[in-house]
Chain A
Amino acid sequence: MSTYGVADSGWVNITDLEKDGWGEIIGCVNPQSWAALGIGLSIGLSVVGAAWGILLTGASLVGASVKSPRIRSKNLISIIFCEAVAIYGVIMSIILISKYGTGGDPEVLTCRQITEDMYFAGYGIFWAGVTVGLSNLFCGICVGVTGSGCALAHAQQESMFVKMLIVEIFGSALGLFGVIVGIIMSTDTAFP
């Protein structure tokens, strides 16, 4: 006897999903909607991170450069690091969109017709998007906070800039890690 779509062997019996009901909640959602959500999250969360970072850095930069105008050009690098985070999100979204495929059959896709490939593609793209989005979000905040400190320290002492920049470089590497993992996750995913 299978319960909730699980066969005696322990594997999910797809054909029983509709019969039992609970599995439908996630199992019958069109995988392409998961993929679309993932793409949206990847660009959305990345932009939130980048914007948050720029607002943190920008406020300090503008205030500090009134007294020390020499910091204006160099400290724009902090802003650029934050911006890079958003660019990672855009790149990842474009890569994921290329796996998104077309709408498929004009007929309504029922739950029985969803294949393993589609499940793999849907979930793969969704979680790749979430991975990239979340890692870029926190990377953006990190670079923003350190960039703000860098601007203030640079305004006081000329030699502080390069040291603080090293901290920022380590911070911005976090976003890169997310992109790498996301790309590997979504490598073989493809909607038929």
Chain B
Amino acid sequence: MSGKDRKDEGLSEEARRKAEYFEHMSYYRFNGPAGGLTTWNAENGFLEARVRGFRSGFLTGAEYKQLMQCNSLDEVKLALTDTDYGQWITTVAKGTEEKADLYAKRLMKACQDKFLAEFEYLRMHATGHMQTFLDMITYGPMIENFCKLIIALQKTDNAEEVLEELKNADPLGAYPHLNSIVAFDKADDLLTDLFDSLLVDTPVSKYFWQYFLPEMTDEDEKKEDGSHALRKFTAEVQLDIMINTLQKYLLEDMYNYSRELGGETWDIMKDLLEFEADRRTINVTVNSFGTPLNEPDRHDYERKMLYPNFGELHPDGQTILSGYGPKPGVSDFATLANEFKQKTLRFSGILQDEENYVYAMRQEEAKMFAHGFDSQSHYGCFYAFYKLKQIELGNLQLIFDTISQPADVEQKRNLFKSVTPIFE
């Protein structure tokens, strides 16, 4: 397989031999092509049908309307029992002395548990390519969990506060030995210690490896065991840049894997992932306005490293983003919008309106990923299911938060504008 070399990077000799042995012994059908209309169903037909069943469980526009008309969280709970969330939400008890946001938190957790149960069902039944694909979807949350914990470790020595952070970890990216992260002290070479002992065994180690690799090229002593070279890599790395770079590597990995799978999967995933890449490009740029990363001399090297190396905006759009400087009197956002409009690049329409930009982007995302359910016999519907569910959980979070705070009708209406309809 063409991806073999990349996967084996960073493994010790013994680990490499073991990986080769298991790959050699595995049945051909797990490593063969994913198949088209006539053969896909044998391996994956059941799970695809399950996912399409989950698709029919998304909240519709009418249900959102009903939720938005509720005045209290009790009414919201009642409204939700008629939807697909019914079974999960009825077990949430209000409790005696209730602060509204605690109740809201519990309701939200019930909804998240439902999604988690559905996704884990798919993952537990998956084999072969499907397993790899679904695992890759969970690497995103896993990277976020690790990075959040690293940030917590950087801030404080107190083990309990780090454990608190652990409770907020995304359960989809669960890793069995995450608890052992509290054993690390806040020290100068925290990152290298962490990588050597904990991160190198995780499935996301290759993204960390890719991230560290460029830093190691200008080392005087290049040892065979690359871990020693990491010692000079101090904890001064900017953690949010690290998170974004890791997510970018994950996106590129998914793109390459989808290309390997080929066929219908590639056709669908190409569009979805290119949208993700372009969105990441724009988001990174917009979020960097007002931070040191926006200075022109940091455009080309640092900010450009955060843009994925595929997508409609690559390479022309990305070159534009690092070419212009801030104009006096005009906000950075407006300059960006102008550049895009002149060259009629993707998202130029969305960028015109700065206030509603986030909401409009989410709308585009919902529309795009609804296409993930087109056609049959491909893995794209699983990725689309994950993404759309995240949007729906975001909608629910918004609804719960808005209703639990006492607010007047005008404010509510404004906040409810940001609820993104899915499949409409």
- A23, CB-defined interface residue at 8 Å: no
Question: In angstroms, how far is the closest chain B Cβ from the Cβ of A188?
Answer: 37
Determine whether the beta carbon of A56 is less than 8 Å from that of B53. no
- A141, CB-defined interface residue at 8 Å: yes
Which range holds the interface residue count of chain B? 10 to 19
A56 touches which one: B41, B47, B50, B57 (CB < 8 A)? B41
Alpha-carbon separation in the docked complex, A56 to B35 (Å): 12
Take A55-B41, A56-B38, A145-B38 as given contacts and tell me if A66 and B376 are in contact as well, using a CB distance cutoff of 8 Å. Answer: no
Within 8 Å CB of A52, what residues of B?
38
Alpha-carbon separation in the docked complex, A63 to B55 (Å): 13
Alpha-carbon separation in the docked complex, A144 to B385 (Å): 25
Within 8 Å CB of A152, what residues of B?
48-49, 52, 376
Question: In angstroms, how far is the closest chain B Cβ from the Cβ of A76?
Answer: 15
Question: In angstroms, how far is the closest chain A Cβ from the Cβ of B353?
Answer: 34
Nearest CB to that of A68 among chain B residues? B53
Within 8 Å CB of A155, what residues of B?
49, 52-53, 56
**8 A Cβ contacts from B303-325 to A:** none
- A79, CB-defined interface residue at 8 Å: no
Determine whether the beta carbon of B45 is less than 8 Å from that of A59. yes
Question: In angstroms, how far is the closest chain A Cβ from the Cβ of B51?
Answer: 8
Alpha-carbon separation in the docked complex, A56 to B52 (Å): 16
Determine whether the beta carbon of A66 is less than 8 Å from that of B50. yes
Question: In angstroms, how far is the closest chain A Cβ from the Cβ of B372?
Answer: 14
Per-position contact with A for B363-380: 1 when CB-CB < 8 Å, else 0? 000000000000010000
Alpha-carbon separation in the docked complex, A156 to B51 (Å): 12
- A163, CB-defined interface residue at 8 Å: no
Question: In angstroms, how far is the closest chain B Cβ from the Cβ of A102?
Answer: 41
Nearest CB to that of B38 among chain A residues? A141
- B62, CB-defined interface residue at 8 Å: no
**8 A Cβ contacts from B49-99 to A:** 49-50, 52-57
B376 touches which one: A63, A67, A144, A148 (CB < 8 A)? A148
Question: In angstroms, how far is the closest chain B Cβ from the Cβ of A75?
Answer: 11
A156 touches which one: B45, B46, B52 (CB < 8 A)? B52
The secondary structure that dominates the A interface is helix
- B42, CB-defined interface residue at 8 Å: yes
Alpha-carbon separation in the docked complex, A52 to B57 (Å): 31
Within 8 Å CB of B102, what residues of A?
none
Take A149-B376, A152-B376 as given contacts and tell me if A63 and B50 are in contact as well, using a CB distance cutoff of 8 Å. Answer: yes
Alpha-carbon separation in the docked complex, A155 to B48 (Å): 13
Question: In angstroms, how far is the closest chain B Cβ from the Cβ of A45?
Answer: 15
Within 8 Å CB of B54, what residues of A?
67
**8 A Cβ contacts from A22-80 to B:** 52, 55-56, 59-64, 66-68
Within 8 Å CB of A64, what residues of B?
49-50, 52-53
- A151, CB-defined interface residue at 8 Å: yes
Determine whether the beta carbon of A60 is less than 8 Å from that of B57. no
- B37, CB-defined interface residue at 8 Å: yes
Question: In angstroms, how far is the closest chain A Cβ from the Cβ of B238?
Answer: 45
Question: In angstroms, how far is the closest chain A Cβ from the Cβ of B346?
Answer: 31
Determine whether the beta carbon of B53 is less than 8 Å from that of A66. yes
Alpha-carbon separation in the docked complex, A61 to B37 (Å): 15
Alpha-carbon separation in the docked complex, A52 to B45 (Å): 13
Question: In angstroms, how far is the closest chain A Cβ from the Cβ of B327?
Answer: 51
Question: In angstroms, how far is the closest chain A Cβ from the Cβ of B352?
Answer: 36
Take A67-B56, A155-B56 as given contacts and tell me if A62 and B42 are in contact as well, using a CB distance cutoff of 8 Å. Answer: no
Determine whether the beta carbon of A67 is less than 8 Å from that of B48. no
Within 8 Å CB of A149, what residues of B?
376
Determine whether the beta carbon of A60 is less than 8 Å from that of B49. yes
Alpha-carbon separation in the docked complex, A52 to B50 (Å): 21
Within 8 Å CB of A141, what residues of B?
38
B57 touches which one: A62, A67, A148 (CB < 8 A)? A67
Determine whether the beta carbon of A67 is less than 8 Å from that of B41. no
Determine whether the beta carbon of A67 is less than 8 Å from that of B45. no
Within 8 Å CB of B46, what residues of A?
59-60, 62-63
Within 8 Å CB of B47, what residues of A?
63
Determine whether the beta carbon of B38 is less than 8 Å from that of A67. no
**8 A Cβ contacts from A125-157 to B:** 141, 144-145, 148-149, 151-152, 155-156
Nearest CB to that of B43 among chain A residues? A59
Determine whether the beta carbon of B45 is less than 8 Å from that of A56. yes
Determine whether the beta carbon of A145 is less than 8 Å from that of B53. no
Alpha-carbon separation in the docked complex, A64 to B41 (Å): 13
Determine whether the beta carbon of A67 is less than 8 Å from that of B37. no
Question: In angstroms, how far is the closest chain B Cβ from the Cβ of A47?
Answer: 17
A151 touches which one: B38, B42, B49, B56 (CB < 8 A)? B49
Question: In angstroms, how far is the closest chain B Cβ from the Cβ of A81?
Answer: 16
Nearest CB to that of B52 among chain A residues? A152
Nearest CB to that of A56 among chain B residues? B41
Within 8 Å CB of B38, what residues of A?
52, 56, 141, 144-145
Determine whether the beta carbon of A67 is less than 8 Å from that of B42. no
Alpha-carbon separation in the docked complex, A16 to B47 (Å): 63
Question: In angstroms, how far is the closest chain B Cβ from the Cβ of A78?
Answer: 13
Q: Can you list 16 pairs linking A and B with CB atoms under 8 Å apart?
A: A52-B38, A55-B42, A56-B41, A56-B45, A59-B46, A62-B49, A63-B46, A63-B48, A63-B50, A63-B53, A64-B49, A64-B50, A148-B376, A152-B52, A155-B52, A156-B56
- Given contacts A68-B56, A155-B56, 6 further A-B pairs with CB under 8 A are A55-B42, A63-B52, A64-B50, A67-B54, A152-B49, A155-B52
Binding site for A on B (CB under 8 A): 37-38, 41-42, 45-50, 52-57, 376
> Which 9 pairs across A and B sit closest by C-beta, in order of nearness?
A63-B49, A67-B53, A59-B45, A64-B49, A63-B46, A59-B41, A56-B41, A60-B49, A63-B50
